[in-house]
Amino acid sequence: MEIILKYFPDLTEEQRRQFVALYDLYIDWNAKINVISRKDIENLYEHHVLHSLGIAKIINFRPGTSIMDLGTGGGFPGIPLAIMFPEVDFFLVDSIGKKIKVVEGVAGALGLKNVTARQVRVETMKEKFDFIVSRAVTAFPAFVSLTRNRIRESSFNDLANGILYLKGGDFEEEIKDFRNRVSIYNIPDFFEEEFFETKKLIYMKNLKYFLLTIWE
């Protein structure tokens, strides 16, 4: 928890309570349904919670913003972001029901009224959102193709509506066809720990303006 306060010292008491509670909740749920590597659970705050909050370093979502976390897994980045932005609506989706069960259990125990979780495939959805966030559930071109009709056109945040995609490693090949349409933020600019050395945040604005060709 200390590492969260290191970079976000102005949390409310309620936010502190919720972040503190995450550890025991994930220890408990992970023993029942494995959503985080058991070798990595001790690094929950650095590798999962803080990594998710990298998004909060580039945008302060305004109240009323709607965000879909696609392929949320155990609730990342959606749950940490929902704690950070209690007046923002988060829709956490995954195609695997047992993962959604974990998300619902964690969100319920934390009292997060701004989180909705659903087992669904994005291809079948009709809802639209201001932003779609994810922690690299698939290759970036495939993610763009999956989400191209799920983003609202009208924006009211400092960043135009679009994708916020946490990614690690070498992804130059993945984004070569998007190079002029994306902004890439280096997570080490925000967090000094070695874990973040190769981590990036890819932002691409409203997909309405992107013509898909090679994936159709």
Least confident of 10-19, 48-57, 176-185: 176-185
> pTM for this structure?
0.93
Asked if residue 22 belongs to a domain, the reply is: yes
Token code pair at residue 59? 């945008």
Residue 54 structural domain: 2-209
Asked if residue 97 belongs to a domain, the reply is: yes
Asked if residue 214 belongs to a domain, the reply is: no
**Domain count within the chain:** 1
Q: E strand or H helix at 44, and its extent?
A: none
Q: Give the count of alpha carbons within 13 A of 175, CB side only.
A: 19
Least confident of 23-37, 116-130, 164-178: 164-178
Measured CA to CA, the distance from residue 194 to residue 188 in angstroms comes to 8
Asked if residue 83 belongs to a domain, the reply is: yes
Cβ atoms of residues 82 and 115 within 8 Å: yes
Least confident of 19-23, 146-150, 193-197, 199-203: 146-150
The string of pLDDT tens digits covering residues 84-128 is: 999 999 999 999 999 999 999 999 999 999 999 999 988 888 899
Measured CA to CA, the distance from residue 166 to residue 42 in angstroms comes to 21
**What CATH number does residue 70 fall under?**
3.40.50.150
Helix (H) and strand (E) counts for the chain?
7, 7
